[in-house]
Amino acid sequence: MDCKKIQEIIMTDYIDGEASKTLREEIEAHLKICEGCRKFEQALRERVSEPLRKLEQVKPPEGVWQKIKGSIEEEQAEQYAPSFLERLLDFLRNSFPVRKPVFAFSTAISVILIALFFSVGPFHKQQLVKDYIEEKAEFMVSLNRSVNGDLERDLSFNTAIERYLF
């Protein structure tokens, strides 16, 4: 390998410890015999790599975490805040109390049972009696009307005095 190729490898795999054992040994052998490449390698380490590696590692100020935490908490609060629809439903529920489904179901069953009870139970018979009485009463009234009508017809002689009196 010529010096140009050697210096390219020095600038990358060699200085970064990524070169294979064979390649590293080859470069080291060249550095022993080539002063130009040796100076190049030394300059690269002293003026570029070492000063950069010495730059301090810094932690962010505490305020950064406080801002992150604040943003997360704000998002969580928004996530769990009730929507307009939920708030409207709550308002309606409070204004017009509605039983929960389990109570609504039991209420509906109760209403059906009561209706059945009144339609097929003892009260149903009372209704039949009531209907029967009403029916008979209407019959009596109609009978009375017809009897009176017939009497009127039977007893009328269609005389002048009847017409005058009645």
Partner 1 sequence: MLSKILEEMEDIQRETIEQAQAGDIAAFERIYRAASGFVYSVALRITNNRQEAQEVAQDVFLKIYHNLKGFQFRSSFKTWVYRVTANTALNAYKKMSRDLNRRQDFDSIIDTQAVSVDTKKELADRQERDEQKSRLESLLNKLNPDQRAAIVLREIQGLSYEEISQALSININTVRSRLKRARQALLAASGGG
Footprint of partner 1 on this chain (CB under 8 A)?
8, 11-13, 15-16, 18, 40, 43-44, 47-49, 51-53, 55, 57-61, 63-65, 67-69, 71-73
Euclidean distance between CA atoms 104 and 111, whole angstroms: 11
Helix (H, G, I), strand (E, B) or coil at 87: helix
What whole-number distance in Å separates Cα of residue 163 and Cα of residue 166? Answer: 5
Q: What minimum distance in Å lies between the beta carbon of 22 and partner 1?
A: 18
Shortest spacing between CB 31 and partner 1, in angstroms = 17
Q: Are 44 and 16 in contact (CB under 8 A)?
A: no
Amino acid letter, residue 4: K
**CB closer to partner 1 out of 43 and 151:** 43
Tokens for 144, please give them.
Answer: 């009375």
In whole angstroms, the minimum distance from the beta carbon of 83 to partner 1 comes to 20
DSSP secondary structure code for residue 158 in this structure: -
63 vs 101, beta carbon nearer partner 1 = 63
Taking the least distance from each CB to partner 1, the nearer of 68 and 109 is 68
